[in-house]
Structure 1
Amino acid sequence: MKRPRFKLWIRAMRAPFFQAVIVPTILGTAIAWYRSGIFYWQYFLLTTLAVIFINAGTNLANDYFDHQSTSDDINRDATPFSGGSRVIQENLISPGKMYRSSLIFFALAAVIGLYLAFTRGLLLLIIGIIGVLIGYFYTASPIKLGYRGWGEFVAGLGCGPLVVLGAYYVQAQTLSLEALFISIPVGLLIAAVLYINEFPDYACDKKAGKNTLIVKMGRKRARKGFYSLLLIAYLFIILAAILKIVPCTLLISLLTFPLAWKAMKIAHSSYASKQEILPAMSGTIIIHLSVGLLLSVGYVLAKVFPWL
């Protein structure tokens, strides 16, 4: 594949957003290593590939179905973080090719998922099927989760508990209440990423009948939802440490709270401005990435330095 074409598909898949599934995969694996001392690098790589393929399929399908609904086509307020990849709107890739490519990525994920299910446990088959269904029907008829105000919930579920528990299970071949509990902040933060990214799309989503939470509440009222997602995520981490569900070393993730505070201040004052809200959008992505990685680092520190 020629380099320009490769870069085009990287753009179409929205590869920078793969962190949404890579971060919880690392976290689930770190928890398993901390609790059992187990780390199978080959299964970790396969798990990472599988979730990336599901995410790529989801993003491609999302662009296709948002084109079908005209949501992206009428969007004149697209940003680097919202409004889709724009490759269909710029006639760089045909809608049909986007749709077929999404199915190919889902199929590749299914192949890896079947292998992991039969080598590590059939529960992974259920987790994988739920992940694919969430990804496909996020914008696909007849369910169209993202069009009915369920987008943040299913994104948080899919990129939080589902991936963390799946990655944990691949390594440890069991489930964990601890993994479930600490996956919730990660899920809330990816929901916050999606949520804040919908503010610039308010007008076009409303016109296209895409009833996101922002459309349902209006941008001014919806600000409180953004604050809640961020604050509850941090409160979950603090609560988990206080209750000794997780090692206290995970409190290192609280170092990122100033970034969250800054994002909330920007969202409060600039919720109606496409340009001025951009730092809150990029900041929330950084918060999700840094919190997820620092939680993983916290588990590594607790394992290497158990007296901490």
Structure 2
Amino acid sequence: MKARDYIHGMRLRTLPLGIAPVAAAAALSYNNRADMAQPFSVARFWILVVACLCVAVFLQVAANFANDYSDGVRGTDRLRAGDARSEGPRRLVAGGIAPKQVLMAAAANATLACIAGLVAVILTGYWWLIAVGLVCLAAAWWYVGGKHPYGYAGFGEISVFVFFGLVPVLGTAYVLTGALRFTDVYAGVILGFIAVGVLCMNNLRDEASDEQAGKRTWMVMLGGSTGRVVTGILLGAAILLIVLPWCNVVFPTFTQSFGSLGWFMAGLLAMIACLDMLVRALNALYQRTYNAAMRTCSISALLFALMLIFAAF
């Protein structure tokens, strides 16, 4: 496989959805470093952050290659290639790349994710996290892989909420602090809503070819009009949850967590930029320019994490 094909297969535009949960959890954990289960060590903290980030990124890339492989050999991507309304990313297997090469790329990235995960396990002693990692690997493969992929049965959206929202945020937070807090769950829910919103936009774009291939996503089951409303509700919920802490409604001391006026203003600007991206995504959603909606929505996840990073200092 050529380097250009490999980069296409990585789906770089989707990576903010994997990076943001780790960054958000790291910021929240750093803010609560005085309450960590073990004495705070700067070196240990950042080694674990990098390990968690590598797990998230390599596992997401592995899933992207695995999805390309499975949809390619199943024939779903060939239907998308013939659908003028489906202007998705370049598909490798459907585009002529040998399926074995794509599968090997998925396996290589999954291996790197496992190595990074083992580093975190060894440093923390939380051996039960291996079981969590195995569940994540299984979820990545059986999303569209195997004889009965759950992504074809309407469970893909739930999986994305769990594995791009709750699991990476809560997993990273526990690795870093040895405890979980309501703020971690809150951030995981926000990022989960954003990730599901991106998936719904993707599935709205591919609605016709997915239905023809027998892939029953929420958008296929609901139909385009209702699907756009549901997606809009998800993004609207994310916007509301992002704004509430600034009103001192959910977390009465949130605005006091900033170390200085400068960091407060930086966090406020990040929040405004995040909301701007989500509003742009909503506008693009209803204009049915789904690729643009997905891009801005993915960026909003990073901006939300950046807001929390500013709050940690």
TM-score if structure 1 supplies the norm length?
Answer: 0.85
Paired residues in the alignment total 290
Please give the per-residue CA displacement for 1:202-259, whole angstroms capped at 9, x wherever unaligned: 1110000011111111111111111111111122234454121772366652443233
Give the corresponding residue for 1:256: 274
Amino acid at match of 2:250: L
Amino acid at match of 1:261: V
Instruction: Provide the C-alpha distance between the structure 2 equivalents of 1:51 and 1:81, rounded to a whole number of angstroms.
Output: 27
Contact 2:86–2:206 (CA under 8 A) maintained in structure 1: no
1:13 to 10, 15, 20: 10
- 1:79-158 matches, within 5 Å, as 82=88, 84-91=89-96, 93-120=97-124, 121-158=126-163
Contact 2:67–2:143 (CA under 8 A) maintained in structure 1: yes
Instruction: Provide the C-alpha distance between the structure 2 equivalents of 1:129 and 1:230, rounded to a whole number of angstroms.
Output: 30
Instruction: Provide the C-alpha distance between the structure 2 equivalents of 1:24 and 1:284, rounded to a whole number of angstroms.
Output: 14
Instruction: Provide the C-alpha distance between the structure 2 equivalents of 1:225 and 1:163, rounded to a whole number of angstroms.
Output: 24
Amino acid at match of 1:16: R
Give the corresponding residue for 1:36: 33
Instruction: Provide the C-alpha distance between the structure 2 equivalents of 1:247 and 1:42, rounded to a whole number of angstroms.
Output: 27
Instruction: Provide the C-alpha distance between the structure 2 equivalents of 1:195 and 1:170, rounded to a whole number of angstroms.
Output: 30
Give the corresponding residue for 1:296: 309
Contact 2:51–2:119 (CA under 8 A) maintained in structure 1: no
1:243 to 218, 241, 250: 250
SS in 2 for 1:211: coil
Instruction: Provide the C-alpha distance between the structure 1 equivalents of 2:70 and 2:98, rounded to a whole number of angstroms.
Output: 13
Instruction: Provide the C-alpha distance between the structure 2 equivalents of 1:10 and 1:167, rounded to a whole number of angstroms.
Output: 27
Please give the per-residue CA displacement for 1:16-47, whole angstroms capped at 9, x wherever unaligned: 32221111111111111100154421221122
Contact 2:200–2:231 (CA under 8 A) maintained in structure 1: yes
Deviation at 1:65, TM superposition (A): 0.8
- 1:154-169 matches, within 5 Å, as 154-169=159-174
**Residues 79 and 64 (structure 1), Cα distance of their counterparts in 2 relative to 1, 3 Å cut:** farther
